[in-house]
Chains A and B, each alone.
Chain A
Amino acid sequence: MICAQTPPPEFRATIQPFLAKNCLGCHNDKLQTAGLSLEQYRDNAALWAKVADKIGSGRMPPAGLPQPSKADVTAVLSVLEKSSGEGDRVTAHRLNRVEYNNTVRDLLSVSLHPADEFPLDDAGYGFDNIGDVLSVSPLLMEKYVAAARTVSRAAVYGEPVPDKPTKLTRFLGKKSQDDPTANALPFSYRGALWATFDFPADGEYEFHMRDANYRPRTKSTPRQAELSRKRGLTEAEKAELKELNRLSDAPVRMVMTLDGKQILTEVVEGNIDFAYAHGETVARARVTAGEHSFRASYPEYADTANPLDNVNTDGRRKIFIDYIDIWGPFDKGTEAPASRQRIFTCTQKTADCASKIIGGLARRAYRRPVTAQEQNELVQLAAMVRKNGDSFDESIRVALQAILMSPNFLFRAELAGQYDLASRLSYFLWSSMPDAELMRAAEAGTLRIPTVFDAQVRRMMADPKADALVENFVGQWLGLRQMDKRKPDPAHFPTVDDELLDSMRQETTLFARAVMREDRSVLDFLDGRFTFVNGPLARFYGIPGVNGEAFQRVELDGTQRGGIMTQGSVLTLSSYATRTSPVIRGKWVLENLLGTPPPPPPPDVPALEEKNIGTTVSLRERLEQHRANAACAVCHNQMDPIGFGLENYDASGAWRDSEGKFAIDSSGKLPGGKDFRGPQELKEVLRNQSDQFTRNLVEKMLTYALGRGLEPYDRPAVDAILQHLRADGYKFSTMAMEIANSKPFQMRKGEGELSAR
């Protein structure tokens, strides 16, 4: 029960009349819209902070309803924000899994991914790098210990390598789109296999693979059939049969690439009987230690209109890469692993050298100068190892293990002035530790000089490591990680395989990367007139003129596609496995693009009657009930029209003109907006709400950069960033720069500037 409390006088004077005029129509005790009633005063700072935020950002009252005057809003905000209380600082921020892996890579040149075994990071506000939500449990601590042990050993001694060349691994792909085999690689109708592998040492490696050939005997000539059935063939007959089998199907070229460069090609000939005897193919290549990607595929299949041409009637593919084994290393390199070169900055096995090495490691790992006490303790640990009779290298390894387990490595706690700013910047743009140049600027105390700072930001954004911003920020903002859980059902979408879904993901990644690296406007996310597709994806979308496996940039003028709402990635993850949902898509747009998530549905809403959709009634008609009932319409009038505007894209992202026997009706009207028909006009309507879009995007990126949820006191900073953004063509790169320069990023709340110690 809500107790009526006595409101303070300025509340009664300013706030209550405002609420009565603008809010109580929905947010009263009877209706409790979105579970909120503002009818009775409650002394709850968090509540009023939220109210202030909604009013201040223009999200409430919702579009389509009468809006309060600017003067009224200012008056209300000045009262509300006084009472919203002091905000919190960012909590000690532990590295998340991605950051841990990247940091180990950059610190030691070790490309193991130990954090892949850590428990999943809890996420907050849509991101997995929110300090307050990232916790340490005894389970995680055990993993830290094991990881530190493994990484330190690999860094000092190199990854364990067998003495003789051995089979290191076998890669197998899924045999069908819904094959549940654990650890199998993604499925490709076109028979491709691709993966990355961490090679333990410099050297040569062999790739043993088999092309599986199950092309049927159905096209046999009578002579072929006769010979196949006959027993006791003469040598000549055997040769003849073999040749007939070889000629019964067109040859297909297989190509294998390593890091994109071809290392093997061969031709697959004949039918199942010919290929059976053929055995393995072997490619050999010299590889440096570390992670490399490889792919084996049949490039001409990229251009087949129907991928199912490569599938037999029994469901098995005709031609595909059966497996790839990696053998090695042969002719192992004699150079010490790269990690040793980073660690052993001196070579004498003396106490002084140990001190120098350890000091250097700790400084880089802790991302700041080390105190004498810290250095001392580590050096003493190493000395103890030596006294015990262990080697110099082992003493360094033990010290390194300690460093990797230290909270100074695992946490970012902001106590060190310019170094903190350097860390914050590098984890924002690179999801990893600062590099030497950035550390030098912090050390020289020049990082806060605007020209120096801005130059660093620009340098870092141009660095390949800034791909992390696309991968981790954009990826989480758009929810791309959901793609694996939202795959289109193979029964309903028989031409959609993992490879196509992977291509969709690459499309969005390449698109976002282009927006970032080409200083493009963030409004391109709404309706940018270009994208990246390869042959199969282009054919799937109906875009002409693109062939081959490689991704190409295409202009989209004159088509309905453009922007992320019409990219396959977003379209599939905002649908059910078997059908579209205009409500989910509408919700996705409201939540992720406009920052106006609809309130949750009331508890006893009956489920949608799915049975006859497409046959006796269209999905749109079924959803009419949302509009018929006024209580439902308030929210659904915001969501459903957006979804209808995208209904031409089915649950797999392909264009369609009808659903069952009903033509798609993609018209709609947003509250307070114009009518539209089709995706292109929908995008124009949303473009007119670009202020909401950009505000939401800035807020999201600021959340990601700060590693905390935003508070009402952050709004002036957001406003300032938006102003700069507007003035500079809404560039993505400007947004990142402005965020890095913003007060919340540069300063700690309540303590002035991050000052040097």
Chain B
Amino acid sequence: MPGKSIARRTLLRGMGTAIALPLLDSMIPAFTRAANTKAPCRMAMLYVPNGIVMDQWIPNLPEGSMALPAELPRVTSALMPFRSEITMLGGLTQNGGRALGDGPGDHGRAGANYLTCVHPKKTNGRDLQTGISVDQIAAKRLEGKTKFASLELGCEEGVQGGSCDNGYSCAYSNSISWRTPSSPMPAEIRPRAVFERLFGAADEDPRARRYEKSILDLVSSDAQRLNAQVGAADKRKLDEYLFSIRDLEKRIASAERSNAKAVKPSMGIPGSSIPTEFGEHARIMCDLLTLAFQTDSTRVATVLLALEQSPRAYPEIGIPEAHHGLTHHQGDKEKIEKVTQINCFHAKQLAYLLEKLRSTPDGDGTLLDHSMITYGSGLSDGNAHDHANLPMVLAGRGSGGVKPGRYVRYPRETPMANLYVAMLDRMGVPVESLGDSNGEVGYLSDL
């Protein structure tokens, strides 16, 4: 039986690679605010897997807050143009990622715990259990203010297979965003699909959606009837369904209320295919993220640049070996060099995003002024599966909540969750605690 089948509709729209047009002055985002209203704060978490070569990330500096070193090592050197807009953080730990008696599985844990800060339950399938991720906590509280409560973007397709890492289901590393402890929010990796979520499909018949509210009502009552008849375990699944319906209904209602004109996006429609070259894929996701923030389609996002334990190779920079395999270098200098190159390649994409955000005007400043963008990994030393002293950079000024341009090293074992608590505070959705937090990190806004 011969191979590929390609949706005809996709092909009708033409095959081509993504075209990103520069921002044109005449393209006005639909939701611009008046100049004197305070621009809302946005939050995005970018993730890279398998740890980072730490001595190429930041020099070993003492605890405390200090100006960023005059020169940054290889991996972070790409961020030099943004020195005054970034805060590098050291000493943060994810204790929940450690074994704590559950044996091997550091990658499964690292991915599942990165934004949830809990120790995920070791299971191959049944009863997944991690926590609610920081982005979803914010999303839930900010619901209704924007078209999308949150956006999950990614550049690597999920793994299908029972166990990804020693008894931890692949579901744990396929997503970093969790709406409930057992409901992952999968990332969309198709640029065209993200674009269409934000702006609608090009050839769509507007009439086609006329009855959708009534249809949603009908299926909603179907679900409630069903829910009343099923057992506890089934209820959990139907709850997910009901939540998703309600989420859709709210979005339709808020779109109607705001009577926004059709938004003219300031980029070309992405091609229908998924770019095979990582840099291209990452950049178009960064373009879409910038656009989503600019049009206030959402204020919360996550970008899974690669999945935890990713085996991706990077032939585009001359590395045909799998990323994860290389990070278990055991001191081999050649392998460490290759990992460093991959780390640099990833960091370049962050630099691209920061440039886009910095050059996009937003209210009385730029998008970067009004954002908090984190970039890091669930492991520091990928070879030793170390969950302490994690690499983390916080970019942006958080609408005044962050005073960047510094390096802060927190005391040993400071939970990463403390950073997330601080971020939620600055997003205007404070929480008492999150995961294993025991306070809020300081030094972000003080000098």
Contact = CB atoms under 8 A, between A and B. Distances in A.
Given A135-B182, A168-B12, A180-B315, A378 B218 contact: yes
Interface string B170-193: 110010000100111111101001
A479 B161 CA distance: 8
Contacts of B190: 117
Interface in B1-42: 1-9, 11-12, 15, 17
Contacts, number: 251
Interface string A633-656: 000000000000000000000000
B230 A415 contact: yes
A141 B223 contact: no
A42 B215 CA distance: 52
A186 B4 contact: yes
Given A133-B128, A604-B384, A402 B3 contact: no
Contacts of B332: 607
A132 B222 CA distance: 21
A2 B101 contact: yes
Interface string A98-127: 000000000000001100110111111111
A29 B415 CA distance: 29
Contacts of B101: 2
B341 interface: no
Contacts of B274: 182
Interface in B228-268: 229-231, 233-234, 236-238, 240-241, 243-245, 247-248
Nearest to A384: B214
B311 interface: yes
A288 B225 CA distance: 41
A510 to B, nearest CB: 10
A485 interface: yes
Contact of B127 (A132, A185, A411, A413): A132
Contacts of A479: 161
Interface in B63-115: 99, 101-105
Interface stretch (A195-203, A302-310, A678-686): A195-203
Interface in A137-151: 137-142, 145, 149-150
Interface stretch (A59-67, A87-95, A427-435, A554-562): A87-95
Contact of A145 (B128, B248, B328): B248
A368 B238 CA distance: 19
A122 B275 contact: no
A130 interface: yes
Nearest to A114: B7
A362 to B, nearest CB: 10
A119 B188 contact: yes
B322 to A, nearest CB: 9
Contacts of A89: 231, 233
Given A139-B185, A178-B315, A600-B104, A481 B160 contact: yes
Given A183-B273, A186-B3, A377-B218, A125 B124 contact: yes
B162 interface: yes
A334 to B, nearest CB: 21
Interface string A360-389: 000000000000011001100100110010
B447 interface: no
A489 B15 CA distance: 28
A168 B11 contact: yes
Contact of A411 (B212, B226, B271): B226
B157 interface: yes
Given A92-B234, A415-B230, A709 B124 contact: yes
Interface residues of A, number: 98
A114 B267 CA distance: 26
Given A142-B197, A295-B2, A607-B332, A122 B124 contact: no
B125 A607 contact: no
Given A136-B241, A141-B248, A182-B276, A168 B104 contact: no
Given A381-B211, A607-B330, A137 B183 contact: yes
A407 B222 contact: yes
B218 A381 contact: yes
A181 B280 CA distance: 12
A709 B2 CA distance: 33
A141 B162 CA distance: 24
Centre residue among A398, A502, A509 by max chain B CB count within 10 A? A398
B152 interface: yes
B333 interface: no
B320 A489 contact: yes
B445 interface: no
A113 B162 contact: no
Contacts of A195: 2-6
Max chain B CB contacts within 10 Å: which of A34, A35, A117? Answer: A35
Interface residues of B, number: 95
B208 interface: yes
B238 A120 contact: no
B380 interface: no
The residue among B171, B197, B231 with the most chain A CB atoms within 10 A of its own CB is B231
B18 to A, nearest CB: 10
Contact of A35 (B3, B104, B329): B104
A84 interface: no
A153 interface: yes
Contact of A122 (B104, B184, B328): B184
A170 interface: yes
A665 B6 CA distance: 46
A160 B8 CA distance: 10
B255 to A, nearest CB: 13
A291 interface: yes
Nearest to A141: B244
Contact of B226 (A170, A407, A600): A407
B247 A141 contact: yes
A122 B244 contact: no
Contact of B125 (A130, A413, A482): A130
A195 B222 CA distance: 40
B162 A135 contact: no
Interface string B288-309: 0000000000000000000000
Interface in A252-280: none
B244 A136 contact: yes
Please indicate which of the listed interface residues A160, A405, A709 has the most CB atoms of chain B within 10 Å of its own CB.
A405
Interface in B207-222: 208-212, 214-216, 218-219, 221-222
Given A126-B161, A136-B241, A402-B219, A149 B208 contact: yes
Contacts of B219: 402, 405-407
B385 interface: yes
Contact of B215 (A88, A119, A134, A398): A398
A627 to B, nearest CB: 20
Nearest to B248: A141
A127 B179 CA distance: 24
Nearest to B197: A142
A120 B184 CA distance: 12
25 contacts: A89-B231, A91-B236, A92-B233, A116-B7, A117-B193, A121-B160, A124-B169, A132-B128, A133-B169, A135-B237, A137-B179, A138-B149, A138-B248, A168-B12, A183-B272, A195-B3, A196-B4, A384-B214, A388-B210, A406-B218, A411-B237, A413-B226, A413-B230, A601-B104, A603-B384
Given A88-B126, A137-B184, A195-B2, 17 more contacts: A91-B234, A119-B186, A120-B186, A124-B125, A124-B171, A132-B126, A133-B169, A137-B240, A139-B186, A182-B271, A182-B273, A293-B2, A381-B218, A385-B211, A398-B211, A401-B211, A509-B1
Interface of A: 2, 34-36, 88-89, 91-92, 94, 112-113, 116-117, 119-128, 130-142, 145, 149-150, 153, 159-160, 168-170, 178, 180-183, 185-186, 194-198, 200, 291, 293-295, 373-374, 377-378, 381, 384-385, 388, 398, 401-402, 405-408, 410-411, 413, 415, 479, 481-482, 485, 489, 502, 506, 509, 577, 600-601, 603-604, 606-607, 708-709
Counting from the closest, the 10 A-B pairs by CB-CB distance are A124-B125, A35-B103, A141-B244, A182-B273, A92-B234, A194-B2, A119-B186, A126-B162, A196-B5, A122-B171
